[in-house]
Structure 1
């Protein structure tokens, strides 16, 4: 699937499909056939035997069938709508659980029982209400149906009719005793059939949701894949919009053109900075390079080749991604670095860590060095440590094209200096596309591209853009004004020729 579609689906929906719906479907495949066979064979055999004993008792027992059928239809009316509401509420709970657990430090710090926790609590209450409405709707009919399907009503009917037949001399006592033993078996077998029906309905609902995922169009793969020649990037009149339910994470709503006729040319071995307000399309440009989505029109070329003409694994090995929020697996430090190249030796892993300014803290601060487990999403490490490990991973991949999403945006000064040195090593001799929020870090970039509402407003070097007095000059004035702010008054503004700390020239 397109990586962008996976992100848009969300963790709650994917967790329910992968875990709950697949399990329901598996249960139906594994258990439905033998359960159905047993539930049908026993009542049919019992009814045939009862017909041999006395056909009139068979008719008496069958008189209960319409009552059970009517009750069952009342219990299951509007089932599809109720099931859909139940599934949606269940999915919302799954999302809230993931969000609540991942945000636990914030929840523990600020929650007073009515704020942060309320989001999770409301989802649980919505799920409870959906369940109650579903159960309440068929409660009375369900109770009467279950009562009719117990052995007692059938036994009463058989005894009443059988006693009358015995007293009339048209049936023996032995036949009546045999009829009472056989007569309750058909109705007892209907109960498992009801559970089986619910079982199959659950699995059918799961299958529908699984098919919704499978119906998402995969990224088409080329019949004759091509190899990129270098790290250059070209956008040719690119138009792109996010589909329903999708979003870039930087403010572009679904449906509106996130990019509208964007043209870019980033030569091999140069640094290109993308700047602009939130929602201008910076992250969209960065995510189209590794083909998170396919463009609506135009083309994205990497190394002279349209990304749609490259095998996905080749493209993703060619592009190194370092984002603001570093993601680590709950594994050892070494395995998190080796994720970029599973066949890398220990020496290669350590060399990448040294280049990323991570080797020292790994050896001296972590209890088991490179064999230390980092916890879920790297929770046992500091933010700066996590970022340096992800940079080591990118170094090990040795990709000729690097995409940076302001990798030092949230680092403390000490970690920022270490990360900057690591980025200097990572970007040396490579093509770099950097999403820049702090303009002082990209003044020495070879090219600065200003995006505004999905269009390229202007491009050039820092000096030429300042001289032009356009959108970039306005952003620079805002940057220097914000940079001069401090608690208790203004600090001296940074000079306009600040060296690039994020991406060295």
Structure 2
């Protein structure tokens, strides 16, 4: 983060929240997003100027009425006064509409820009960030925090402009009428400022706590929704209910503290204004001060002073909304200022053959003290297949995930065609790699959208169908009423595990990349489907450099190179027959699986 944004750090519910020292600096940065709606803002300001001008106009109109009555010239102004009253309220209505409507347009444009900026940042963040923050808390930033910003733009600026201009207009009118009495009223401003300053710090602190608590609420809810089957089977309902109750209780407690501060702030300011009003009237009744004032002047002055109470009260009330927006802005700008994936590559990867080499490569996950991989040495010629086998947690997936640079290696080298992966342009590098994860990822759209996803969206229907056939998916797709246009639901929930996996394989086939990564690609398939898919994969792998991570050794016996990974190290490598002849770790795994199948 830049030096000018130095922060204090507070902890709440095991979540670190950074709080910048300068609230106004953050708020002005937020207002920088208003620039794109400058015209709407000017129309809104014009509306509030019209509204504010009508307040002293009403006091001046009251002065005229009293003076007319006192001198007995009512008949001369009988038509003029009602028309003037109507004109004042029509003008005030027009000002209110212009101000509120165009300020709402400004605020919604700001929130739109913030949300799109945040999402644009989201898709370019490193994998480390996704592993460091719960999904629910991330969603809270995109939804709840940006909603708080709406209030600080619409309601806060509306009140600051409309009521602030009203206060300026009424005070100017009072000074014009009697500057001595008006100076008395101005004496309370510093005292009100002290109260507002204290309340601001309190509001901001509580707003940050509320955001953290809201993130906790969304975390628990998101986990319970995603894991509802596990919750039901393992009797976790009471546990989840209690977790949610605690998270919601923390949010409620912080909200009530916020309301208490707000509820005390307003009456204290009102009481100070009442004392000042009483003092003002006491002085105004002095003959030496009010002797030069007509009855109309006297009534108009007191009316203007009385009208100041409402805008000043609203100006103090808006402080809590403003502080909520500033606290939300801290969270939003912390997110926007996160570093994206480092891409310093200069080499285009438009014609990759697929020669891959791991040379003395080691890797450790961010924040972990344990080496995930240690001194990996492997050579995979283009067009050949490497199978990674071993116990779960040994480091097989980590080796594969370093290839498209989901993470950057710490030491050693990982080269493709003799060039370090970090020297390739990141987007170009990933265009040359197709991936089928063990945990299949499908998006809430049609089967067609999920096969021809992203950069593949321009594929023709014939190409999509051919990919589906090659993945043994076309058979079940044809049986669906909507065919390729069938919606798969969130995360493919409307399809079976095997169907989801075949769609993911069809997507990889359609990409037709020179390098293919298969992470337990057939794990969700039944035996019959697995044979059909394995046949399709064998054809797909024929002209590609393939890295296959497999649990079932029967699926990788024909691999050119088999590497046994254990505790982040390669303990054996060779062909299937070579490794069996060694009678080592691979032979032990093979015999164990064979005996399990026989049993």
Relative to the length of structure 2, the TM-score reads: 0.71
Distance 2:530 2:205 in 1: 53
- 1:50: which partner in 2? 174
Identify the match of residue 347 of structure 1 among 458, 462, 480: 462
- 1:207: which partner in 2? 329
Distance 2:321 2:262 in 1: 17
Map 1:31-430; keep pairs closer than 5 Å: 35-77=159-201, 81-111=205-235, 113-132=237-256, 134-135=257-258, 139=260, 142-150=262-270, 154=273, 157-159=276-278, 161-163=280-282, 165-166=284-285, 168=287, 170-171=289-290, 172=293, 173-194=295-316, 196-213=318-335, 214-244=337-367, 254-339=368-453, 341-364=456-479, 366-430=480-544
SS at match of 1:299: strand
Check 1:20–1:50 CA distance in 2 against 1; reply closer, same or farther (3 A cut): same
SS at match of 2:237: coil
Alpha-carbon offset, residue 329 of structure 1: 1.6
Check 1:308–1:194 CA distance in 2 against 1; reply closer, same or farther (3 A cut): farther
1:465 aligns with 2:579: yes
- 1:487: which partner in 2? none
Distance 2:251 2:387 in 1: 46
Alpha-carbon offset, residue 387 of structure 1: 0.9
Check 1:170–1:81 CA distance in 2 against 1; reply closer, same or farther (3 A cut): closer
Distance 2:441 2:449 in 1: 13
CA deviation map 1:178-224 (0-9, x unaligned): 22221244443334434554444334333333333332243224234
Alpha-carbon offset, residue 343 of structure 1: 1.2
Identify the match of residue 136 of structure 2 among 9, 12, 18: 12
| Residue segments in structure 2 that go unaligned for 5+ positions in a row | 1-123
Distance 2:413 2:575 in 1: 25
Alpha-carbon offset, residue 406 of structure 1: 0.8
Alpha-carbon offset, residue 443 of structure 1: 3.0
SS at match of 2:407: coil
Alpha-carbon offset, residue 384 of structure 1: 0.8
**Higher helix proportion (structure 1 or 2):** 2
Aligned pairs, number: 470
SS at match of 2:301: helix
Relative to the length of structure 1, the TM-score reads: 0.83
CA deviation map 1:283-336 (0-9, x unaligned): 211111111122223332224332222233322221111012211121111121
Alpha-carbon offset, residue 116 of structure 1: 4.3
- Runs of 4+ aligned residues of structure 1 deviating over 6 Å after TM superposition are none
SS at match of 1:407: coil
- The answer to whether the 8 A contact 1:228-1:302 is kept is no
Instruction: Between 207-216 and 293-302, report the one with greater CA deviation.
Output: 207-216
Distance 2:275 2:528 in 1: 85
Instruction: Between 22-31 and 305-314, report the one with greater CA deviation.
Output: 22-31
CA deviation map 1:363-402 (0-9, x unaligned): 12x1111111111111111111111111111111111211
- The answer to whether the 8 A contact 1:290-1:315 is kept is yes
| Residue segments in structure 1 that go unaligned for 5+ positions in a row | 245-253, 485-491, 494-505
Alpha-carbon offset, residue 362 of structure 1: 0.7
- The answer to whether the 8 A contact 1:234-1:266 is kept is yes
CA deviation map 1:384-424 (0-9, x unaligned): 11111111111111112111111222333344344334433
Check 1:412–1:129 CA distance in 2 against 1; reply closer, same or farther (3 A cut): farther
SS at match of 2:563: strand
Alpha-carbon offset, residue 110 of structure 1: 4.5
Check 1:28–1:79 CA distance in 2 against 1; reply closer, same or farther (3 A cut): closer
- The answer to whether the 8 A contact 2:181-2:283 is kept is no
- The answer to whether the 8 A contact 1:227-1:310 is kept is no
Check 1:85–1:456 CA distance in 2 against 1; reply closer, same or farther (3 A cut): farther
Distance 2:533 2:322 in 1: 55
- The answer to whether the 8 A contact 2:469-2:475 is kept is yes
- The answer to whether the 8 A contact 2:352-2:432 is kept is no
- The answer to whether the 8 A contact 1:4-1:293 is kept is yes
- 1:249: which partner in 2? none
Distance 1:424 1:285 in 2: 22
Distance 1:155 1:128 in 2: 33
Distance 2:283 2:514 in 1: 94
Instruction: Between 277-286 and 24-33, report the one with greater CA deviation.
Output: 24-33
SS at match of 2:438: coil
